[in-house]
Amino acid sequence: MIMRATRAIFYKIHKGNATAIDYLEWAYRMIEEDQESNSLYMLASMEETENIFKYQDYFNRSLGELEITIPDFEDCAREIIRELCLKIVNKTRDPFEVTRDIFKVTFEIDYPADLSVWVNLDDGIDRIIYDDEYYKPDEKEFKEQIELEAKNYLAAQDVENIR
């Protein structure tokens, strides 16, 4: 759990869109996982209106105090894909939108073979939306296929216990 939270925030940091809320949520998750450091407590107690640079400073101090190293970008991206798959399975977002987001993350890590299914799913969405005259999948069945692939990805992540 500690590394999952860390990978997720580092993905956002790498993309340049980590917010004060992201830093606060990371700090809360670390504390929930019984992590302790002075900087972590300072980070968790900050107001949302604080300067983002102050958040970054306490975040970096916390990393050092907790001896957490910066994870590999691909690992961070795969964590974001895991979180997106959870949104599909839990039905908290439209599966087509989430599949598009997963496709974008897959692109960022150069389309690894184990994620190629998401490229095909993204293509299928185009066929449904833009009414491909040669092949148009059934929308309901396609959403079920997306959910199945999300479940498969989540199961693989838990079994491998590497991401």
Domains of the chain by residue range: 2-66, 73-160
What is the Cα 59 distance to its own chain's centre? 19
- 31-48 pLDDT, tens per residue? 999 999 999 999 999 999
Of the listed ranges 16-20, 44-48, 53-57, 135-139, the least confidently predicted one is: 135-139
What is the pLDDT at residue 132?
59
Fill in the amino acid letter for 69: T
Q: Is 11 left (phi over 0), alpha (psi -120 to 50) or beta?
A: alpha
Total length of the chain:
163
Residues in Cβ contact with 28 at an 8 Å cutoff, skipping those fewer than 6 apart: 44
Mean pLDDT estimate for the chain: 91
- The end-to-end CA distance of the chain, in Å, is 10
pTM: 0.85
